[in-house]
Structure 1
Amino acid sequence: MGIEIELHSSRPSKKWDPSRETLIKGSYQHGAALAGALGLLNAKEPGKLPWVDPYGDTMFNEQEAEAALTEIPGLLRRVAGPGQEAAVHDLAELLALCAATPGSYLWFMGD
């Protein structure tokens, strides 16, 4: 199981788009580690990051990304090892980019 993340300039179609015109940046190298780190969160906890579905798609708009960014320090205190730590730092970078890009969306693709 893994979670890939893509930052898009506007809401992407859930259908695969060969042109990928809205894609700004993707993160594909930390899938399993990111799923493991986010799996440390209880779905009943407050916040946005527990909403991420490890088996489906989840999208955050720029406001949700900004709110989720505040949850990163707490998640970093829970991670197990350098792989999960790197995945969370990568997530933080994409959350920050999304929060700073008007109209953008962060697309979490679970499997």
Structure 2
Amino acid sequence: MPAYIVMTREHTQDAQEMERYSEKAQAAREGHDPQPLAFYGDFEVLEGSAMEGAVILRFPDMAAARAWYESPAYQEARKHRFQAADYRVFIVDGLAEA
């Protein structure tokens, strides 16, 4: 069953670190092939705290999602995200496809 990594950027503190993160995160996708379903497009917050943008990545299953997130390449990219902005990141199981 598919799994999704959802990332919401809540507040950017350092635009240059955000650029470094973006470059490294893009390279970290190689070999993991996540399917982007949403990538910082237009949005509207209906409930909860404000945010600056969101990303939703689809993976074949939870193991594949964790493998990408825990990969050395993404862990290197993540260091820049921590310096660049406040995020909320989670993995959620999807529904079995009909």
TM-score (norm 1): 0.32
Q: Which has the higher contact order (CA 8 A, sep 6+)?
A: 2
Q: Of Structure 1 and Structure 2, which has the larger fraction of its residues in strand?
A: 2
Bigger CA radius of gyration: 2
TM-score (norm 2): 0.35
